[in-house]
Amino acid sequence: MNPLPALLALAAATTTAPAAELMVSAAASLASPLSRIERDFEAANPDIDVVLNTASSGTLARQIENGAPVDVFIPAAAAHMDALEATGLVDKTTRRNIATNSIVLVTPASSKPKHGFDFLGTARVVMIGDPAAVPAGMYAMQVLAHLGIATTIAPALVHGRNVRHVAASVAAGHADAGFVYATDAARNKELRIAAPAPDGSHEPVVYPAAAATNAPNRAAAARFIDFLGSQAAQSTFEKAGFGHPVQ
Amino acid sequence: MDWTPVWISLKTAIASTAITAMLGILAARWRMAKKGTLAELVDGITLVPLVLPPTVIGLALLLMLGRHSPAGELLTAMGMRIVFTWPATVVAAAVVSFPIVYHTAKAAFSQIDGEMLDSARAFGCHGVRLLVRVMLPLAWPGIASGIILAFVRALGEFGATLMLAGNIPGRTRTIPIAVYSHLEGGETAAAVGLSLVTIVVSILAITLLARLRRA
């Protein structure tokens, strides 16, 4: 029997149109839930291939400013989104908040447990994200200012590249303590929470999402941002320890 | 505009070069007296920091000197630490620039006319006196270029320094780290200012190098 017609039919059935790329630049703290959301979104939208680019919000904003082909931007602070909105680099009509978080003080699980903030006075190395580029560092400075110890512990402060770097360094014991998000502390067994940030000690941690003005794939960007607000995505954020967004 | 990175970088590069100059010259002198596999092995191992990516060197240093390493636990027991301190910038800079001094000094020493050394020894000049009174002066242009190159390398060290010493404003934020930090934070003018200082210092060093070569 001639196999050619069968082979051609098979080829036609398995050939699909190449998936369009969607570049999502998101804050480092969102890496875990977003990789799950990426899978769910791609399953529901087989014509879109999500490329997840995570780093500190400042780094991502600089990339967009320098012309990186980003479709969706999700920083860990409204300030970074506001800055890009002001220069017309993101479309504010597509902007919506997709999650919230909170700040905690952590110590290495391998060292003696600490409680509260008093021990920071004698800590040799306290790690925070670089406040200029890492929102977690900015929130940490607000907490320190609120507690009135920002100047006293300044000599011990070490700046991390992003909040994941801070979490990893504290977990490895290179730092005596560090400020990370509650979600980072929850997923890292080598971190112990010394204290949650006191109520009102930092501005609310809000993650806004918006499409870039020069997004290569505007239509897909809009679909992805809508998906972030869906039941499925919100449940993924909730399971990872994030809070519900307030618009 | 915060200029402290300039002072930190200079302090680090000077301290690092003082160490690598001394160790590199002594190691090269030792090497001149040896032949065989051990000597060749040392040559090979000392080339490694020159060819490895700085982040890999940083990782190796973290694993060797970090909290949970044998050396790290010894330091912790003595109440000291290296990771995230200023001495760590010197360690990182010295590790990457040592090969430069060692190999340049080795090459410079091997250029010395053997007869000069033989006659010096015939006049009773040995050991340290031979090194300081005869070998160093004869090999000086070559060794000096090695030291200058090591200094410039120490000034520009970024990857290993960032990993071992961290980014501590006013303490370990060297010029390369400060430029990186300023760029991430959108402070381009500050980044450019610091970069210009580095360029000027490097040009001065290379000019000095060229003068020495001509001598």
Which residue stretches of chain B have pLDDT < 50?
none
ipTM of the complex: 0.71
- How far is A160 from A131, CA to CA, in rounded Å? 9
Residue B62 and residue A174: Cβ atoms within 8 Å? yes
Among the partner residues A132, A155, A158, nearest to B184 by beta-carbon distance: A132
Suggest the residue from B55, B80, B84 to mutate for an interface test with chain A (most A CBs closer than 10 A).
Answer: B84
pLDDT of residue B186: 83
* CB contact B79 to A (< 8 Å): no
Residue A13's pLDDT band, with cuts at 50, 70 and 90, is low
| Closest CA–CA distance from residue B178 to any residue of chain A (Å) | 11
C-alpha–C-alpha distance, residues B107 and B45, integer Å:
17
Quote the pLDDT of residue B28.
Answer: 94
Is 80 exceeded by the pLDDT of residue A17? no
What is the reported pTM? 0.81
Residue B190: what pLDDT? 94
Q: Is B166 in Cβ contact with A61 (below 8 Å)?
A: no
Give how far B162 is from chain A: nearest CA, Å.
Answer: 10
- What residues of chain A lie within 8 A of the CB of B186, using their CB? 58, 61-62, 65, 132-133
Rounded CA separation B140/B158 (Å): 29
Stretch A165-184: mean pLDDT, rounded?
95
- Going from the C-alpha of B21 to that of each of B13, B46, B102, B119, the distances in angstroms are 12, 14, 8, 27
* Beta-sheet pairing, A191-196 with A103-108: antiparallel
